[in-house]
Amino acid sequence: MDLKAVLMGVAFAFMWASAFTSTRVIVLAAPPLTALVIRFALSAVVGIAIARAMGQTWRLSRTEWRVLIIFGIMQNALYLGLNWVAMTTVEASAAAIIASMMPLMVAFFGWVWLGERLRPIAVAGLVLGVIGVAMIMGVRLRHGLDPFGTLLCMIAVVALTVATLVARGAGGSRNMLMIVGLQMAVGAVALLIPAIAFEWGQQIEWSWQLILAFTYTVAGPGLAATFIWFLLVNRIGAVRAATFHFLSPIFGVAIAAMLLGERFGPTDIVGACIVAAGILMVQMARLPNNAAQRSPTARTASRS
């Protein structure tokens, strides 16, 4: 993994984690699905406009259309839709911790769904990661964490896992920003009817905090982080890229504590370290088709 990939991964993890805090600000002041539709629509317009200015086209291949539609539904409509609804009752730090299970689930789904073999150390890492998350969430549930909101976050992270695996098919496109903009449009269309059905007539409590949080969410996690994620998956693969999510619970809890005053106790620190250790173990157990097992010719070419 080269320095550029590391910097991309850290930048993505920070923006991805910070989205939980900005989302918490938004959903406490505005209907979550309606706000998300507006966010997706703005991101789509801006992303597509910039892509066109860069000479990119929406004349994509069949594979690219398949990937962006699936990604738009699974990552945007399901993952973010469920998370935004859940975070009306679930703290930003708790949602970030649950979402940190994604890299573990990417490895697990790749194992049982795609037939990718995992070494025993990877299986142990999966178990360790689940133990870490269970430790944190057990304490939080005893301190009043909403069970239904927690369940929505769990379903959401499964959708994000599927989106992450699917995203491997579009990483090398020359129309990457166009793909990002179009998958935002897919998310807006998919959530429009639910937003109208469940939130029509609900009021928005306007404030400068809401405007700032919304603007940041559109520009940062909405466009920039998604674009970086596609590039990172293409550069190092979905499982390796997912390892950077070990930073997300740390960033997520720290940002929420600083900006929202949410709790960050000893159990959160220990649990986050356990989850990080589990993710590291999964990463160390290279899959059979990893770079470490490529032919000498391929390894030589990759260093040129």
Confidence of residue 15 (pLDDT cuts 50, 70, 90): very high
Q: What gap in Å lies between CA 101 and CA 242, rounded to an integer? A: 10
Q: What average pLDDT does the structure give for the chain?
A: 83
pLDDT reading at 56 higher than 60: yes
Q: Write out pLDDT tens, residues 268-284.
A: 778 878 887 887 788 77
Q: Give the pLDDT band of residue 264 (cuts 50, 70, 90).
A: confident
256: Cα separation from own chain's centroid: 17
Lowest mean pLDDT among 18-32, 190-204, 262-276: 262-276
Once rounded to an integer, what is the mean pLDDT over residues 119-137? 87
**How sure is the predictor about 172, in pLDDT bands with cuts at 50, 70 and 90?**
low
pLDDT bracket for residue 132 (50, 70, 90): confident
Q: How many CA atoms lie within 13 A of 259 on its CB side?
A: 21
Output the DSSP codes for 118-186: --HHHHHHHHHHHHHHHHHHHHHHHTT--HHHHHHHHHHHHHHHHHHHHGGGSTT-TTHHHHHHHHHHH
Q: Is the pLDDT of residue 294 over 70?
A: no
